[in-house]
Amino acid sequence: MAVAVVLGTWLILIGLLFAAGRGETARQAAALLPNLVFLFHGLVRDPRVPRTSKLLLLGGMAWIASPIDLVPEFIPILGPLDDAIVAALILRHVARVAGKAVLADHWRGDPDTLEKLFRLARI
């Protein structure tokens, strides 16, 4: 149920961006969730990432998939915000411990989007 709500909110956001004439931003947003899934999966399997960081990554994936949230997912914009904050904090930790290059090795999306994530997470 939680996954469906997250996906629904994500799709609504993408639709709103397209409707507002922000096609490029909408394309980046559409690719962000799958790219983050691949990134977290790759980092969990990477031997360069310490075990404690892998546990944080697994916990972050469980947090994002969990139906229990600080802010309910059905609230537009704010609903997925707590998930985004958790993901950013985990990525910040992994980047500091393992290095930005490790994250870049597993990123399948646009390099500019990864750089934006680094700036948002203050990496």
Domain ranges of the chain: 2-120
User: Token digits for 75?
Assistant: 């609230």
**6: confidence class by pLDDT, cuts 50, 70, 90:** low
For helices 111-120 and 23-45, what crossing angle results, to 10°? 80
* Structure confidence by residue, pLDDT tens digits, 63-87: 877 767 676 666 666 666 677 778 8
* Structure confidence by residue, pLDDT tens digits, 51-62: 999 999 999 888
Separation between Cα atoms, residue 52 and residue 62, nearest integer Å: 15
3-class secondary structure, 11: helix
Give φ, ψ of 51 to 5 degrees. -60, -40
Give residues with Cβ within 8 angstroms of 22, minimum separation 6. none
